[in-house]
Amino acid sequence: MVDASLILDRKLLLDDGWIIQMRVWRLPMITSERPHGMKYSLFFGRPGERVIGYDNEAGKGDHRHYRDREEAYVFTSLEQMIRDFQADVRQEMNR
């Protein structure tokens, strides 16, 4: 059995305590739950506090977290998802 391949692993620790982390794996096969063939976890927050998160946990599909709210996310491409995540982070940091 072939394992997933880590294709993006980036973590930024900002001076004010914020953490931005992006991890993306290419899966060995596509599935109905992950038709794009990727597993991902994008995180913005502080230790113990997720403010923004994008992930596709098994059984939940593509979705986005904003504080206590969870909503479906329409995945179109890895690049677009990263842009959307970064825009959400910028907006939160400018509050």
Q: What angle do CA 19, 69, 57 make, to 5 degrees?
A: 70
* Each residue's pLDDT tens digit, 47-78: 999 999 999 988 899 999 999 999 999 999 99
Q: What's the total number of domains in the chain?
A: 1
Enclosing domain of residue 84: 5-93
Mean pLDDT of 25-33: 92
Look at residues 64, 61, 66 and name the one whose alpha carbon lies nearest to residue 39: 61
pLDDT at 59: 86
Grade residue 92 by pLDDT with cuts at 50, 70 and 90.
very high
